[in-house]
Amino acid sequence: MNIGQILASRSILQGEKVGFIRNDVQLTFHEMNERANSFAQFLQQEGIKAGDKIALLCKNNEHVVAAFFCAAKIGVVTVVLNYRLHTEELQYIITHSDAKLLVYDEVFEETAKQLPVAAIGTNKLIDIYKQKAAEPQYVTHDNEPILMMYTSGTTGKPKGALISHNNLQAASIGLTHTIDWWEQDRFLMVAPFFHIGGFAPLITNVHVGATMILMEDFHPVEAWKAIERHQITTMMSVPAMLAFMLKTYPSVKTDISSIRNISCGASAVPAPLILGFRQLGIPIQQVYGMTEFTGAITFWKESQNKDKYKSMGKPVMQAGLRIVDIETKEAVQQGKIGEIVLSGPQVFVGYYKDEESYKKTVQNGELYTGDVGYIDEEGFLYVVDRLKDMIISGGENIYPAEIEAVISEHPAVQEVAVVGKPDEKWGEVPRAFIVKKEGAEVTEEEIIAFTKEHLASFKTVKEVVFLNQLPRNAVGKIIKSKFAEEKNPV
């Protein structure tokens, strides 16, 4: 199958339905399919052929949709760039990906000029869209890659994860057959397209025929206004977005009666956010996912068990999930902690120019996530931590997420991250980095004492550093490698 053809199919089924809205721009599925075909014709005229790469330096707008589907139709791989990266980081990705053409929003023109690739601004695409073109004829082969998404690079250089037509199709089926996702939905597209949590919904919405409202920049007040104005029924978010939205809602008080649920991922959703939105009558659907699995792995939703919001729920349709021993890789008993291993048609097809890393990650068709967790007696998955974040202290395994969960309960703590610190006696000991709530006061000694009240002695933090903010990447994940650079407490 060719994932580009789902836009053509949707154009035939519901060509006159408005599928894409951004500010004053409204495009039907037919108009978007026409744009994709015209752009495909342009790429072919420029000598770009199947297997070549084009890169997109764009926010959430209609040009991303046209460019991706046009490329997919003719077998060209799309590289979605994180526009929040530094120019040097973008230069690395452009060079590494072998991109032949860059499509950029005008706001990124100065950055585009510094990148080693031929480029075209989205303002120039309007004339290209006017050129009528036939539906491209291209035969897709097996698990042919069609999308390249670079991992966040929290450790070392980012890797280009290759995602196939089949991966995207399977991810869409997994989503629509696990949570309620309907043709009548009006989806607020605010999670960035450069993140799989933003891109997978694009494919799914076209697949089911839902209308997308494209938001280029997140602002909590504007998000609430968009929900009222466009009668939004659902959206994808990250915890930081939910936190800002919950904080601002009392001052906005828009009509939120249309919204059925909000999905949230990228990192665990704190319980106060889930419960806070529950008070507003908006169920939060917690999703655990990763780029290498083409997005969602599991979902927790209230209908499964409303009290198990600290879990990540159950696997999406078609996903296989098991827990193995960290050392032996043998299956563990139910309730035992081990590495999370995945299988299914969503497993990505490679790392670009890095076969060695791919073979370590995918073995016998199974994806070794590097995440640690367990499955309870009802089949709910609990993600304990990243394997690489695990602290080994005096031979004991310590999972920072467990300590973080305890410290986050302290009334003076806004955010916390725990990492291992080298120690001559124990090898490593836990060290906490904390952002205090506005106006709150707490000392290092008080935090250490608080952990001693709730945790075994070997798990208690031995040092606390107070910061103004925690270092995060573009999708809100805390970059723990940065803490090695932190020398001066605030």
Return the closest-CA partner of residue 346 out of 313, 321, 314. Answer: 321
Give the whole-angstrom CA distance, residue 446 versus residue 62.
Answer: 51
pLDDT of residue 488: 39
Question: C-alpha distances in angstroms, 441 versus 270, 412, 437, 465?
Answer: 22, 6, 8, 13
| Rounded CA separation 35/66 (Å) | 6
pLDDT band of 484, cuts 50, 70, 90: low
Give the Cα separation of 145 and 139 in Å (integer).
13
- How many C-beta atoms lie closer than 10 Å to residue 133's C-beta? 19
**Angle between helices 62-73 and 29-45 in degrees, nearest 10:** 60
Q: Percentages helix, strand, coil for the chain, rounded to the nearest 5?
A: 35, 25, 40
Mean pLDDT of the chain: 92
Mean per-residue pLDDT for 30-34? 98
Taking the C-alpha atoms of residue 153 and residue 422, their distance in angstroms, rounded to an integer, is 23
Q: Are 168 and 203 in contact (CB under 8 A)?
A: yes
Q: Which residue has the tokens 């601004």?
A: 121
pLDDT at 152: 66
Least confident of 101-115, 383-397, 410-424: 383-397
Q: Region 406-417: what's the mean pLDDT?
A: 91
Average pLDDT over residues 276-292: 96
In angstroms, rounded to a whole number, what is the distance separating the alpha carbons of residues 161 and 276? Answer: 35
Residue 346: partners with Cβ closer than 8 Å, 6 or more residues away: 167, 170, 171, 174, 293, 294, 295, 316, 318, 319
Q: Residue 489: pLDDT above 50?
A: no
Residue 148's pLDDT is 98
- What's the pLDDT tens digit per position in 191-231? 999 999 999 999 999 999 999 999 999 999 999 999 999 99
| Sequence ranges of the chain with CATH classification 3.40.50.12780 | 3-381
pLDDT given for residue 428 in this prediction: 84
* Of 143, 145, 153, residue with least CA distance to 344: 143
| CATH 3.30.300.30 domain span(s) along the chain | 390-483
pLDDT band at 153 (very low <50, low <70, confident <90, very high): low
pLDDT at 476: 67
**pLDDT, mean of residues 110-134:** 95
Percent of the chain clearing pLDDT 70 (strictly above): 97
Cβ count within 10 A of residue 23: 10
Q: Name the 3-class secondary structure at 234.
A: strand
For 390-483, CATH number out of 3.40.50.720, 3.30.300.30, 3.40.50.970, 3.30.420.10 equals 3.30.300.30
Residue 460 in contact with residue 451, Cβ under 8 Å? yes
Place of tokens 């970059």: 479
Q: Which residue has the higher pLDDT, 359 or 272?
A: 359
How confident is the model at residue 119, as a pLDDT?
97
Closest CA to 69 of 149, 168, 143, 142: 168
Helix or strand or coil: residue 307?
coil
pLDDT at 154 over 70: no
pLDDT band with cut points at 50, 70 and 90 for residue 426 = confident
What gap in Å lies between CA 360 and CA 356, rounded to an integer?
6
Contacts of 199 (CB under 8 A, 6+ apart): 80, 147, 149, 193, 295
Give the tens place of pLDDT for each residue, 293-304: 999 999 999 999
Mean pLDDT of all residues in 153-162 = 76
Measuring CA to CA, how many Å separate 247 from each of 220, 243, 360, 475?
9, 6, 43, 19
Average pLDDT over residues 161-188: 96
Q: 40-77 as b/e, with b when 16 or more CB fall inside 10 Å?
A: bbbbbeeebeeebbbbbbbbbbbbbbbbbbbbbbbbbb
- CATH architecture, domain 3-381: 3-Layer(aba) Sandwich (3.40)
* Cα 103 to Cα 100: distance, rounded to the nearest angstrom: 10
Mean pLDDT of 96-118: 97
CA–CA separation, 383 and 390 (whole Å)? 13
The torsion angles phi and psi of 151, rounded to 5 degrees, stand at -60, 160
Spatial contact of 27 and 17, defined as CB atoms under 8 Å apart:
no
| C-alpha to C-alpha distance for 67 and 35, rounded to whole angstroms | 9
**pLDDT tens digits, 359-388:** 999 999 999 999 999 999 999 999 987 777
